[in-house]
């Protein structure tokens, strides 16, 4: 059982470039989330989705976009990368219960 899978594991971007962080889950979870984790700052919610076709902003959505065309996939898009977006990004999913299942993260550096 793969759980939550994130790709890529590592990425270096130049300022102004764009990229998509991929997230897929095989547990048929309705709820999916994107967090960023900065050193000493815990996890901040970027965007979340309660089901296919439904997304909403979290605490720090500026500079990011998401889509949820299927239950399995929840990609995160960075359109114009900035140094402030250097972080580790985690995707997570859950059922109606409160347990979150996290992916192993994408470490992104914007130089």
Partner 1 sequence: TQLLEQSPQFLSIQEGENLTVYCNSSSVFSSLQWYRQEPGEGPVLLVTVVTGGEVKKLKRLTFQFGDARKDSSLHITAAQPGDTGLYLCAGGRSGGSNYKLTFGKGTLLTVNP
Q: Which residues of this chain interact with partner 1, rule CB under 8 A?
A: 4, 31, 33, 35, 40-45, 48, 50, 56, 58-59, 90, 92, 98-100, 102-105
Cβ 47 to partner 1, closest distance in Å? 11
The sign of the dihedral angle between the CA atoms of 4, 104, 17, 77 is positive
Cβ 14 to partner 1, closest distance in Å? 24
For 43, residues 6+ apart whose C-beta sits below 8 A from its C-beta are 35, 36, 37, 90
Cβ 82 to partner 1, closest distance in Å? 23
Which is closer to partner 1, CB of 44 or CB of 77?
A: 44
Q: Give the pair of three-digit tokens for residue 5.
A: 């899978």
Q: Give the pair of three-digit tokens for residue 30.
A: 């309705």
SS3 85: helix
Which is closer to partner 1, CB of 15 or CB of 54?
A: 54
């Amino acid at each position: 059982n793969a759980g939550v899978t994130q790709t890529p594991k590592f990425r270096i971007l130049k300022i102004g470039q764009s990229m998509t962080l991929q997230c897929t889950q095989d547990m048929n979870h309705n709820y999916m989330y994107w967090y960023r984790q900065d050193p000493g700052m815990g996890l901040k919610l970027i965007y979340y989705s309660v089901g296919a076709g439904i997304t909403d902003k979290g605490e720090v959505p500026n500079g990011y976009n998401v889509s949820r065309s299927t239950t399995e996939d929840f990609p995160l898009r960075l359109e114009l990368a900035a140094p402030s977006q250097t972080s580790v990004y985690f995707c997570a999913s859950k059922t109606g219960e409160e347990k979150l299942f996290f992916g192993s993260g994408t470490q992104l550096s914007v130089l």
